[in-house]
Structure 1
Amino acid sequence: MTLRIWHQSVNELDRIKAYKRGIEAHAARFLRDEASVVVHGMPTGTYGELSPSDALGNAYLYHRVLSPIVEQAVEAERQGYDAFVMGSFSEPYLREMRTAVDIPVVSLTEAALLTGCALGGKIGMISNAPNVAYMTRNSVAKHHLEARVSAVTSLLPGMDEYELIAARDNPQAMIDAFTTRARELIADGAEVIVPAEGVMAEILAAQGLTRIDGAVVLDVFAAAWTQAIGLARLRRGLGLGVSRAWAYSRGEN
């Protein structure tokens, strides 16, 4: 049977429909018949007049608007999905979701870091804006991978999700800005470059950018879906799922 993956964005996809279409097209090209990806977003109006990049820097707003995502993972399991992908580098409530469901829960950040560790010794991460880079640094620390990440930086000047999607049909200026930052990281020892923001990462994947000066530019969506498929197969074939000791315990011990 074809595996089904619930891909959860933190964007209001009604406002950036090209992003949703881009993820779906990318999944179809990359996964073919191996798995199907269904893309979900946040309700229209979630962030008001703000972009997600601007809104999620506020811890209270982050909690208020993103805590319902835990129930999205529960709903994915209820509907029979094989895996849930948290398609945001802010990776909200990752521990809570893994506590709540038995299906694999994968995040873009963690999957990118783990894949990057297999492809090179040092990882450089480029976000779309400084506040997203700050959240990404916190995620790197949460996964205890600071020693493998040379730096987390951002585009100059920064671009929010709506500015990025507006540049989707003519992305050369954004690609040039990304390449400039990547070369700085590569000169400092980075061997794998991670585009650490979903909209930007989808545009770069669609443009086929996979290497800069010999360093890998990671397709973070492909990395996350591949990890989700692997974990789903382990669960189907061996009954091997998330640990219930300590971090992801349900209080049964």
Structure 2
Amino acid sequence: MPGKGSTPRIWHQSVNELDHLEVYKRALEAHAAEILGDDAEVVVHGLPSGSYAGASATAVLGNAFAYHRILSRVIDNAIMAERQGYDAFVIGSFSEPFLREIRSAVDIPVASLTESGLLVGCSLGSYVALISNAPAVQWMTKVAVDKHKLAARVLEVAAMDPPLDEPQLARAYADPAPVIANFRAAAERLVARGADVIIPAEGVLAELLVRHGVHRIAGAPVMDVFAVTWAYALMQIRLWSKAQLGVGRSWHHRRDDAAIVARFWQGDAQ
């Protein structure tokens, strides 16, 4: 936890190769500074160049083997973040790679886009709807919703039509109108069916919408899910420090031996 008078640091872990999505990385950094100001510092990290062997995350991560092989390093990055003195770790992916494993490994707050967005969304309306960029991400997001046992509060997890991968979305930052129209059509359909809150369920898409002022569609709030997740992480930092909160260690995030993580961690984070 941060020392008295120090600024909390939050490690934001994207699952994209950000050296190929520089416009997205810059947008995230500026957005975090605008939302949190002097309250916390968000440091944005991506995966190493070549992680997806020239393909996009959307094209690869729907395969369970590739998902495990590529994203297991996120666990190591969380351990490294804790060892480097970060005060919280944010999983910047709606598939929430290894959320349970990470919380079992570290003693700093861990926030994810999906969980934070769903929990805050439940305080804004009875039914939340999520819109992803493509069917593969739609499916991974639905699995995450089911994992949190919040399906009863989710009207639908939808995908944009036509689908768009991360490089296509990044290029659209310069000409966002077609993407916004695509997203708006899906959102209007979901609101007409009863959705109270709309969550853009893909990071590059979510940041594009914030960047271009899409905050409400057909009367429903379009959640700034990054702002929500960073603020949620900061809330946890404060509650862990001031109210002595922390994850339960008896069952879901069990750790009987305090040294067990150090014993098995290989220290190969990237």
TM-score of the pair, normalised by structure 1: 0.98
Q: Does 1:98 align with 2:109?
A: no
Amino acid corresponding to residue 200 of structure 2 in structure 1: P
SS at match of 2:158: strand
1:90-143 Cα distance to aligned partner (Å, 9 max, x none): 110000000000000110000010010011110011000011000000000000
1:69-218 alignment runs, 5 A limit: 69-218=74-223
Which residue of structure 2 aligns with residue 55 of structure 1?
A: 60
Letter in 1 for 2:95: S
For 2:25, the equivalent position in structure 1 comes to: 20
Bigger mean CA deviation after superposition, 230-239 or 216-225: 230-239
Give CA-to-partner distance per residue, 1:7-53, whole Å, 9 cap, x none: 00000000001111000000111111111100000000000121101
Q: Which runs of 4+ in 1 moved over 3 A?
A: none
Cα distance in 2, alignment partners of residues 74 and 106 from structure 1: 14
Aligned partner of 1:46 among 34, 48, 51:
51
Paired letter, 1:102: D
The answer to whether residue 234 in structure 2 is matched with residue 229 in structure 1 is yes
- 1:189, CA displacement in angstroms? 0.2
Structure 1: which 5+ runs fail to align? none
Q: Distance in 2 between matches of 1:251 and 1:142?
A: 24
Q: In the aligned structure 2, how far is the partner of 1:155 from the partner of 1:75?
A: 35
**Counterpart of 1:202 in 2: which secondary structure?**
helix
Structure 2 gaps, min length 5: 1-5, 259-270
Per the TM alignment, residue 169 of structure 1 is displaced from its structure 2 partner at its CA by 1.0
Q: Distance in 1 between matches of 2:85 and 2:160?
A: 39
Alpha-carbon shift at residue 238 of structure 1 (Å):
2.5
**Cα deviation digits, residues 132-170 of structure 1 (max 9, x gap):** 000000000000000000001111100000000011111
Describe the SS at the equivalent of 1:90: coil
Distance (whole Å) between structure 2 residues aligned to residue 76 and residue 146 of structure 1: 32
CA shift, 1:252, in A, is 4.5
TM-score by length of 2: 0.92
Identity of aligned residues (%): 54
Amino acid at match of 2:189: E
Q: How many residues align?
A: 253
Let me know the Cα RMSD of the aligned residues: 1.0
